[in-house]
Amino acid sequence: MNNLDHILIALADPTRRAILQRLSAGEARVTELAHPFAISLNSVSKHIRMLERAHLVHRRRAGREHLLSLNAAPLDHAAAWMESQRLLWNSRLNALDAMLKTEDKKKKGRSR
Amino acid sequence: MTIQVTRSFEASPERVFDAWLDPQKAGQWLFATPSGQMVRVEIDARVGGSFVFTDRRDGEDVDHVGEYLEIDRARRLVFHFRVPKFSAQNTRVSIDIVPEGSGCHLTLTHDDVLPEYASGSQAGWTGILNKLAEFLKEPLY
């Protein structure tokens, strides 16, 4: 899997999106992140690992503490990819329209 | 995550629909690139049937492969496709066509179904694209 797949998978889960939203407000400890969720610390850690794998979350050690922060750059990557997909379909549909119009012109040419 | 694109055509719903499944027509525009050369188009236009489009780009063959999930002529077409060169991930495309005057209006919906996600919850992709930008500007907490 490439990093785009990791990013899209990371973003596909509501808990992980909520973690990102929390981190967009600033750095946090793992225990702070787990607090609003009705799930175990272990489960939150798994979500955080998936976010780290996608490079959406950065981990920093301060003494015994692990502080997590948001790295928003991959989100731009995902948004750009989605925009490129939209543009791609737009250009394909333009090509379809052009092909159909060419067929019409040929038909008219023949019937004359 | 869903991408939606809409387009009006002067051509009838039947002509627009058939342009997706007729190999001779589809090869001219679908998965074709301006600088590439479409060297193979194989379409088995039945539900469960598969397709392969091979576009030669700078001497390199790029395959688009997939399967048809729904075929309702002139109204709706749904297929899976993937580009093995770039990703093993299958994505789902639905095309809905409604008559509009003497032509038609087409809505294309491109959903990405990720392997671990396909069997899971419904919550998810829808709207993420639109929300990405807002999300970074307006934290909830």
Nearest to B141 by CA among A79, A54, A70, A59: A70
Question: Is-contact B32 B42, C-beta < 8 A?
Answer: no
CA distance A101 to A98: 5
Which pLDDT does position A1 carry in this prediction?
A: 56
* Residue A94 vs residue B130, higher pLDDT: A94
Which pLDDT does position B112 carry in this prediction?
A: 66
Residue B137 banded pLDDT, cuts 50, 70, 90: very low
* Residue A111 vs residue B119, higher pLDDT: A111
Whether the pLDDT of residue B16 is over 90: the answer is yes
Q: Which of B1, B91, B122, B138 to mutate to test the interface with A (most CBs of A within 10 A)?
A: B1
| Average confidence (pLDDT) over B2-6 | 82
Any bridge partners for residue B6, and if so which?
A: B107
Question: Is-contact B59 B50, C-beta < 8 A?
Answer: no
What is the full per-residue pLDDT of chain A (112 aa) written as tens digits? 567 778 878 887 888 988 988 888 889 998 888 888 888 888 999 999 999 999 999 999 988 889 999 988 887 777 777 777 788 888 899 999 999 999 999 888 876 5
Does B102 reach chain A within 8 Å, measured CB to CB?
A: no
* Residue B8 vs residue A74, higher pLDDT: B8
Q: Could B110 and A89 be called an inter-chain contact, meaning their C-beta atoms sit closer than 8 Å?
A: yes
Question: Would the ipTM clear 0.90, i.e. be above it?
Answer: no
CB atoms inside a 10 Å sphere around CB B75: 14
Distance from CA of A18 to the nearest CA of B (A): 9
Which pLDDT does position A50 carry in this prediction?
A: 94
Give the strand pairing for B60-72 and B50-57: antiparallel
Which pLDDT does position B129 carry in this prediction?
A: 35
pTM comes to: 0.67
Question: Is-contact A53 A10, C-beta < 8 A?
Answer: yes
Which pLDDT does position B105 carry in this prediction?
A: 93
Q: Which of B95, B107, B136 to mutate to test the interface with A (most CBs of A within 10 A)?
A: B136
CA distance B10 to B102: 7
Mind listing the pLDDT tens digit for each residue in B22-79?
Answer: 999 999 889 887 788 999 999 999 999 999 999 998 889 989 999 999 999 999 999 9
Which residues are within 8 A (CB) of A20 and not within 5 positions of it... i.e. 6 or more apart? A11, A51, A56, A57, A70, B135
Q: Alpha helices, DSSP H only, in chain A?
A: 3-11, 14-23, 30-34, 41-53, 73-111
Q: Could B3 and A8 be called an inter-chain contact, meaning their C-beta atoms sit closer than 8 Å?
A: no
| Average confidence (pLDDT) over B104-131 | 51
For tokens 């600088």, the residue is B35
Mind listing the pLDDT tens digit for each residue in B98-112?
Answer: 999 999 999 999 886
Q: What is the largest CA-CA distance in chain B?
A: 55
Question: Is-contact B6 B105, C-beta < 8 A?
Answer: yes
